Amino acid sequence: MITFIATVHILACIALVVLVLIQDSKGGGVFSSQGSSSSVLGATGATTLASTLTKIVSVILMITFITLAAISSKSNKSVVDSGIPQTAPNQTTANAAAVTSGAVTTTEAATTSAPASK
């Protein structure tokens, strides 16, 4: 459910950016050469198709904002609630385990094989 709503939300974001860039501005937009053919209700000052679609997509975007916020607020999971993550054992613990198991580490082998100097 949340994946579907998030996908719709992302598509609505992309569509809104495209629609805002397509809209006619006061100085003429991308489709300024088309004249009144892009009007929904005629050339008498009605809203353009891009403006109407922008309103629809913005409402869809607001609905997905609210829905995603409501879904995420229902989950009581928090990063703080999970506690401190377990870390890898430190070097002294690993050396102690190797010594008790009878394994010789490289530092121990180097110290035992070096001749004693006087």
pTM of the shown model: 0.51
**Main-chain phi, psi angles of 48, to 5 degrees:** -80, 165
Segment 60-116, tens digit of pLDDT: 999 999 999 998 888 766 667 666 666 766 666 555 555 566 555 555 555 555 555
**Main-chain phi, psi angles of 39, to 5 degrees:** -75, 145
Q: In whole angstroms, what is the distance from residue 18 CA to residue 37 CA?
A: 20
